[in-house]
Structure 1
Amino acid sequence: MTHASRPLHIVHTESSCGWGGQEIRILEESRGLIARGHRVTIVAPEVSNIFKRASEWGVPAVALPLLKKRPGPLLALRRWLRANAGDIDVINTHSSTDSWLAALARVGLGLPIVRTRHISAPVTASRANRWLYAKAAAHVVTTGEQLRRELVDNLGVSEARSTSIPTGIDTTRFVPGDKLAARAALELDANAFWVGIVATLRSWKGHAYLLEALANINDPQLKLAIVGDGPQRDNLRAKVAELGLESRVHFAGEQKNVPTWLQAFDAFALPSYANEGVSQAVMQAMSAGLPIITTAVGSMRDIIIEGQTGILVTPKDSTALAQAVRQLREQPELAAQLGAGAHAFAIEHCGLPRMLDRMERVFLNAATTP
């Protein structure tokens, strides 16, 4: 069913070849808007993960070499946009390279751009970036309010032409469940206290500090499950060996049955120290009713209210992390209270329909405003 006043054709450009929350949001949002009667096309490099996986999500994708800010990719995108301009309502750009290519390629074609900024890495306040965000884009979407404020304050992005729209999650899929049944299905120690992290294995996700925190707690029944894969895998395995944690750390790799893993955990930790907006993984864990330990990086304060939906710790502080983990381990009433608060917040504020409604309005306004 189409919620907007008319169906749109939305083109997403993505130059990133990685796989994480950003790419998942694009696909989840695309699938949701297709279900509402819109057309969506993803334009991305053939070697990118989002192009390779788009068909799994039922989203059409076109391969273009959007890997570098060079004349070749610019001309390729320009040719494609010009050939399809009469059939496109709005372009949604996501990473730096594709945002620059699209902003230049669409000149003279009358195609509005919505620029989505997913992460909290600072944007240099240069004249070029001011043009890209404040002039070339009809609207700027961020995944958290703090990210939006930084763009407004530093780049001159208009308040009226910017919106914070956190990523929505499927609260009917990420639900509390039978912990013992989940552990049996995953062959996890039924009697341990399991802290879990679900994240791509990148340095800034803070896995190393979580391992150090675990090593600071002398409790053989306190264990850590690391769900995800990525460039830090070998380094993290080496650190586990160095700290003597082989019996207490389980590397699960990338998993598709994430809800079952969350149902098996006692607590969820994501000690990121950079590049977060509002973490999808944290919202999923909240929806599953888990107490959360994380940092205030990016816009995490949008969802984590200290003492109500989770515990905030200082980034890169393994001592503070250990204290928070120990607190949840030793105070089951507190853990249950935080888990219930997190679940209630996620149900009210983090659902997928809310994100789709708001993105739909942004796209429609961009497509119909002169």
Structure 2
Amino acid sequence: MPNDRRSLHIVHTEASCGWGGQEIRILEESRGLIARGHRVTILAPAESTIFQRASEWGVTSIALPLVKKRLGPLLALRGWLKAHAHDVDLINTHSSTDSWLAALAVRMASPRLPIVRTRHISAPVHASAANRWLYATAAAHVVTTGEQLRRELIDNLGVRPDASTSIPTGMDTTRYLPGNKVMARAQLGLDVDAYWIGIVATLRSWKGHTYLLEALTQLPDPRMRLLIVGQGPQREALGQKVRELGLEARVHFAGEQKNVVPWLQALDVFALPSYANEGVSQAVMQAMLVGLPIVTTPVGSMRDIIENRHTGLIIAPKNAGQLADAIESLHADPGAAQLLGERARTFALEHCSLTRMLDRMEAIFLGAARPR
């Protein structure tokens, strides 16, 4: 760490028990800041995936019952802060439940630790007096994963522009690289002669997998296949949909993959037709770095990284017809598809790197941390 920067102890709270881009960002960011000389501790429920997997990333995790907005979890967090507050520089909260628990626990503890609130998704926040207090008063700084999310908090909740920053999740540019499609397909056991459309996402309804399946029925060429990478609560429903549409021979479920790079390298097109809750998709940024043409929607802050017809194609949410037309246009014009992928990679290298995210988050934490 440079001599002019102090070493911080950053404590993350996370109530979510699921697994997705939000949890991965917390761990990736934590690992990066640990490498820069900071200490990081994650407080999360014992049953949560982030608590169970933190050690894989070299991050300390401590079990606290933060699942519900109840007195017991509040007192547990207050007790931990009371015992450790003098050794902590700030708290970074992430989900609604842990943000409320932390905000209240901090008011009950001494010294009062500063809170940085990270807002990862684009689900609307009700403009109530309570939420205005949570975001605009209790938090020293608010970080969003996209500019549109930031503007909504400023406009609806009174968050100060100078106390809020949009910082998209950063990707490891040395890991996500273009590759040889034929070799990747052979390695993964995929048909090397097919035209592979792919999505990498947790299998949640709002990621839009159903619309991809419906779009595939409008692409009659049997060589056009769909690769679905990920696991989640919609797995059974999606399997049933595949059977209903008669797409068994054209859809491949790859399940959750710790290393998605070869799966991305095997694709011709990456599609993410989300219709809710996105910030800036990590999977889209990964696909951009691999040099793939992207088809997605303007949900959340996706326009921060995808300029229509320049770094990707943007279609309306919940529109299988537009999705099929966009994919077919890329299939019919390989040169245009390649140019989109090249522009996407160039943009992602400059704007979506892990180093850029760590630099900006570190600056936020250093500015918000309590004086020593």
On whether the aligned pair clears a TM of 0.5, the verdict is: yes
- State the partner residue of 2:158: 156
- State the partner residue of 1:104: 104
Question: What SS is found at the alignment partner of 1:272?
Answer: coil
Q: Deviations over 1:223-262 (max 9, x none)?
A: 0000000000000000000111001000000011200100
Displacement of 1:307: 1.0
Question: What SS is found at the alignment partner of 2:168?
Answer: coil
Over 3 Å counting, the alpha-carbon distance change for 1:2 and 1:66 in structure 2 is farther
| Structure 2 contact 114–370 (Cα < 8 Å) conserved | no
Q: Deviations over 1:14-39 (max 9, x none)?
A: 00001000000000000000000000
| Structure 1 contact 175–289 (Cα < 8 Å) conserved | yes
Over 3 Å counting, the alpha-carbon distance change for 1:306 and 1:369 in structure 2 is farther
Paired amino acid for 1:347? L
Q: Deviations over 1:202-239 (max 9, x none)?
A: 00000000000001110100000000000000000000
CA-atom RMSD in angstroms: 1.0
Paired amino acid for 2:91? I
- State the partner residue of 1:125: 127
2-side partners of 1:327 and 1:84: how far apart? 58
Structure 2 length-normalised TM: 0.98
- State the partner residue of 2:172: 170
2-side partners of 1:227 and 1:279: how far apart? 15
Question: What SS is found at the alignment partner of 1:160?
Answer: helix
- State the partner residue of 1:244: 246
2-side partners of 1:223 and 1:71: how far apart? 51
1-side partners of 2:309 and 2:220: how far apart? 25
Question: What SS is found at the alignment partner of 1:106?
Answer: helix
1-side partners of 2:258 and 2:179: how far apart? 17
Displacement of 1:308: 1.0
Q: Which residue, out of 260, 282, 285, partners 2:284?
A: 282
2-side partners of 1:69 and 1:120: how far apart? 21
| Structure 1 contact 119–143 (Cα < 8 Å) conserved | yes
- State the partner residue of 1:24: 24
Over 3 Å counting, the alpha-carbon distance change for 1:3 and 1:328 in structure 2 is farther
Displacement of 1:369: 6.8
2-side partners of 1:180 and 1:143: how far apart? 34
- What does residue range 2-13 of structure 1 map to in structure 2 within 5 Å? 2=2, 5-13=5-13
2-side partners of 1:58 and 1:72: how far apart? 29
1-side partners of 2:30 and 2:186: how far apart? 35
1-side partners of 2:5 and 2:80: how far apart? 27
Question: What SS is found at the alignment partner of 1:154?
Answer: helix
1:227 aligns to 2:229 (yes or no): yes
- State the partner residue of 1:194: 196
Paired amino acid for 1:344? T
Paired amino acid for 2:193? N
| Structure 2 contact 113–370 (Cα < 8 Å) conserved | no
| Structure 2 contact 10–88 (Cα < 8 Å) conserved | yes
Over 3 Å counting, the alpha-carbon distance change for 1:169 and 1:211 in structure 2 is same
Displacement of 1:340: 0.2
2-side partners of 1:184 and 1:162: how far apart? 46
| Structure 2 contact 90–370 (Cα < 8 Å) conserved | no
Question: What SS is found at the alignment partner of 2:31?
Answer: helix
Over 3 Å counting, the alpha-carbon distance change for 1:369 and 1:125 in structure 2 is farther
1:93 aligns to 2:93 (yes or no): yes
Paired amino acid for 2:165? T
1:339 aligns to 2:334 (yes or no): no
Displacement of 1:171: 1.0
1-side partners of 2:152 and 2:97: how far apart? 20
Paired amino acid for 1:91? I
1:357 aligns to 2:353 (yes or no): no
Question: What SS is found at the alignment partner of 1:78?
Answer: helix
Q: Which residue, out of 294, 297, 306, partners 2:308?
A: 306
- State the partner residue of 1:51: 51
Paired amino acid for 1:303? I
Q: Which residue, out of 226, 250, 265, partners 2:267?
A: 265
| Structure 2 contact 69–97 (Cα < 8 Å) conserved | yes
1-side partners of 2:106 and 2:176: how far apart? 39
4+ long deviations beyond 2 Å: 1-4
Over 3 Å counting, the alpha-carbon distance change for 1:2 and 1:237 in structure 2 is farther
Q: Which residue, out of 360, 368, 371, partners 1:366?
A: 368
Question: What SS is found at the alignment partner of 1:11?
Answer: strand
Question: What SS is found at the alignment partner of 2:162?
Answer: coil
Displacement of 1:3: 8.1
1-side partners of 2:4 and 2:136: how far apart? 25
Paired amino acid for 2:71? P
2-side partners of 1:341 and 1:268: how far apart? 14
Question: What SS is found at the alignment partner of 2:220?
Answer: coil
Over 3 Å counting, the alpha-carbon distance change for 1:242 and 1:73 in structure 2 is same
1-side partners of 2:226 and 2:60: how far apart? 38
Question: What SS is found at the alignment partner of 1:356?
Answer: helix
1:78 aligns to 2:99 (yes or no): no
| Structure 1 contact 199–205 (Cα < 8 Å) conserved | yes
